[in-house]
Amino acid sequence: MDGSMRTFAAALSVAAVAGSAGAQSPSSGEIERVLGGISWFGQSSIRIEANGKVLYVDPLHYRPGDEADVILITHLHQDHYVPANVKALSKAGTIVVAPVDLGTGNTVLKPGQNATLAGFPVEAVPAYNIRKTQFHPKAAGNDGYVITINGVRVYHAGDTERIPEMKAVHADIALLPLGQTYTFDSVGEAADAAVDTGAKIAIPIHYGTGEGKHTDARCFADALEKRGVKTVILED
Ligand SMILES: [Zn+2]
């Protein structure tokens, strides 16, 4: 194990403690309030409005005229990072986060690192393929993110398969990619991942544009219903 791996393992265990024993579970009312501020614009593009702030993850699509306080980029694939869109959403003081230096003065958060952004604790967590490593190799160091909003942990998985680190995420709301080509192998695997994270609410994303069908979201919901996880299918 090299130095960076040790650092990562230490950071992960800290996150695990913070997400379980250290923190009190939010009420279902708090979770519902945060849920009400989440919008999906297709692919992995998520907008979260909370406490008067606007956060985006991977704005391939966005609300025209919007100004973001925080923009989180999971990785540099063109369906996740569009420099012109980041620019369009930026105002004075917008914090742009990515796993690498974009050459724009952004904040770099690598998996295992965290920061408080616009008042929200944000943890970068790993996102990678285990089998289909040609798409998102672990060595690329891509991010998923856990954003804590009023005690509610919102997990955006990025592009990933089911990976062991998901058991340390301790999400309340989990946004997971369906599509079965570049991310999870199957809808069932995505459902297993939702259970791994401990989420009370799962939201399927990534399907319906380049890959994955709307019926996949329905199957995902059915698979999770039996396992006590509520699925919310957002309109894209
Ligand atoms: Zn990708």
Cα of 48 vs centre of ligand 1, distance in Å, is: 21
**Burial, 92: exposed, middle or buried (Cβ in 10 Å; 0-12, 13-18, 19+)?**
exposed
DSSP assignment of 56-76, as one string? Answer: EES-SS--TT---SEEE----
- pLDDT class of 181 with cuts at 50, 70, 90: confident
pLDDT digits (tens, 9 = 90+) for 57-99: 999 999 999 999 999 999 999 999 999 999 999 999 999 999 9
Report, as an integer, the average pLDDT of 190-207.
96
Averaged pLDDT score across all residues of the chain: 90
Neighbours of ion ligand 1 (CB under 5 A): 77, 159
Distance 78 CA to ligand 1 centre (A): 8
162 CA to centre of ligand 1 in angstroms: 15
Enumerate the domain spans of the chain.
25-231
Percent of the chain with pLDDT over 70: 90
Q: How many A from CA of 209 to the centre of ligand 1?
A: 13
Burial (CB < 10 A; 0-12, 13-18, 19+), residue 53, is: middle
CATH topology of domain 25-231: Metallo-beta-lactamase; Chain A (3.60.15)
pLDDT of residue 11 exceeding 50, the answer is: no
The residue behind tokens 């009312």 is 29
**For position 23, what pLDDT does the model report?**
60
Confidence of residue 108 (pLDDT cuts 50, 70, 90): very high
Measured in Å, residue 52 CA sits from the centre of ligand 1 at: 30
- Asked whether the predicted pLDDT for residue 14 surpasses 70, the reply is no
**Looking at the predicted structure, is the pLDDT value of residue 19 above 80?**
no
Query: 144: CA distance to ligand 1 center in Å?
Result: 11
The pLDDT of residue 129 is above 80: yes
Whether residue 103 has pLDDT greater than 50:
yes
Q: Does the pLDDT value for residue 223 go beyond 80?
A: yes
Q: Quote the ligand 1 centre to 160 CA distance (angstroms).
A: 8
Pair 130, 151: CB distance under 8 Å? no
Distance 195 CA to ligand 1 centre (A): 23
Q: How confident is the model at residue 18 (pLDDT cuts 50, 70, 90)?
A: very low
Question: How far apart are the C-alpha atoms of 203 and 205, rounded to whole Å?
Answer: 6
Q: Residue 214 has what pLDDT? A: 85
Report residue 12's pLDDT band, with 50, 70 and 90 as the boundaries: very low
d(CA 54, CA 232): 21
Where residue 236 falls among pLDDT bands split at 50, 70, 90? Answer: confident
- How far, in Å, from the CA of 179 to the mean position of ligand 1? 11
